[in-house]
Amino acid sequence: MAKKRLIKLFTLYSLLFTLLIPLFPVQVQGAPFNPDFIISDSELIDYKAMSEKTIHEFLNRWGTLGSYTTENIYGEKKKVSEIIWEASQKFRLNPQFLLALLQKEQSLITTTNPSQKQYDWATGFSCYGGKCNNDYKGFGKQVYYAAQRTREKYLNELEQNGRTFTGWGPGITKTTLDGINVTPLNKATACLYTYNPYQGGTVIEGRLIGANYNFWKIWNCWFTKIYPDGTLLQEEESPGVWLIQNDLKRPFLTRGALLSRYDPQKIIVTPKGNLQRYETGKPIKFAEYSLLESPKGTVYLLVGDNRRGIASSEVF
């Protein structure tokens, strides 16, 4: 009886705690677009950023590309996730870079029913002025040669000469094809302008140019983890609150679980899509210091994520 009274007492305490404290999330804005700095050098070459399994899960989360199989550069039938991962490992490039490139060029990640043309020219490699070189036609070739060109030509040229063959390099000001003066601050940004010499976010003859501006938007939407461990996030127009912990997002399943642990005034409201950058971790179900009873009758005190056994209600 004493054990049951104790559990009821703590349950009541948790409910009261939840009801008495309102939520006051804080609205924050992301960093503005800087055409001189699209992504960092370390981000471009972080080839361990995703496993093949994580890439496959990412593709399934955002669209239908995860179910597509096609030939790689060697004529072997492979899943898209395998083709992307193998190219990223061979050329020591971040697979996220290739994913963002696929989305920027053909919207392949989010298109639910891509056309054959979108697959054939997936990364826009060898395409210029509306014409493409058929030697590089096909999804496998597009991913492979985009990665190869970035690593073996652009990055090598930057290392040896300080600029690429088209003149892009850190600290060198050039005018993009949409008329913007850009001075790349690093090698990764110089690579991106060599691959696509438009800033983007501009209009030419009534046509909206996406280019590197779109790449930046995609990267920041999916891959820039701008929140440190311990951050409380709530997406716009969404009631759920999440804890960022060990590069994972952990949902609070009850208000009591949230309010018994954290100050609700520290919740940050983030734009829609930001939480997609993080994989989902274990949910936080119970309020701090909850009493949990196992099927065998053992009572535990919950402290953080740890359960501490209680020998008896008298000891507690």
pLDDT at position 306: 58
* pLDDT, tens digit, 9 for 90 and up, residues 67-99: 999 999 999 999 999 999 999 999 999 999 999
Q: Are residues 66 and 181 in the same domain?
A: yes
Q: How many domains does the chain have?
A: 2
Q: Are residues 2 and 64 in the same domain?
A: no
Q: Are residues 198 and 285 in the same domain?
A: no
DSSP secondary structure letters along 86-147: HHHHHTT--HHHHHHHHHHHH-TTT-SS--HHHHHTTT-TTEETTEE-GGG-SHHHHHHHHH
Quote the pTM value: 0.69
Judge whether 73 lies within some domain.
yes
Region of residue 277 (left: phi > 0; alpha: psi -120 to 50; beta: else): alpha
Distant-in-sequence, close-in-space partners of 218: CB < 8 Å, separation ≥ 6? 100, 103, 104
Q: Are residues 17 and 49 in the same domain?
A: no
User: Last residue of some domain: 168, 202, 222?
Assistant: 222
pLDDT of 8 higher than 50: no
Q: How many CB atoms lie within 10 A of CB 184?
A: 26
Judge whether 291 lies within some domain.
yes
Judge whether 237 lies within some domain.
yes
Judge whether 240 lies within some domain.
yes
How do the residues of the chain divide into helix, strand and coil, expressed in percent and rounded to 5? 40, 15, 45
Q: Are residues 113 and 160 in the same domain?
A: yes
Q: Are residues 50 and 197 in the same domain?
A: yes
Place of tokens 């804890």: 243
Q: Are residues 114 and 25 in the same domain?
A: no
pLDDT of 249 higher than 80: yes
Q: Are residues 105 and 177 in the same domain?
A: yes
Q: Are residues 168 and 51 in the same domain?
A: yes
CB 80 within 8 A of CB 110: no
Q: Provide the domain limits for residue 287.
A: 1-30+228-316
**What mean pLDDT do residues 274-291 have?**
74
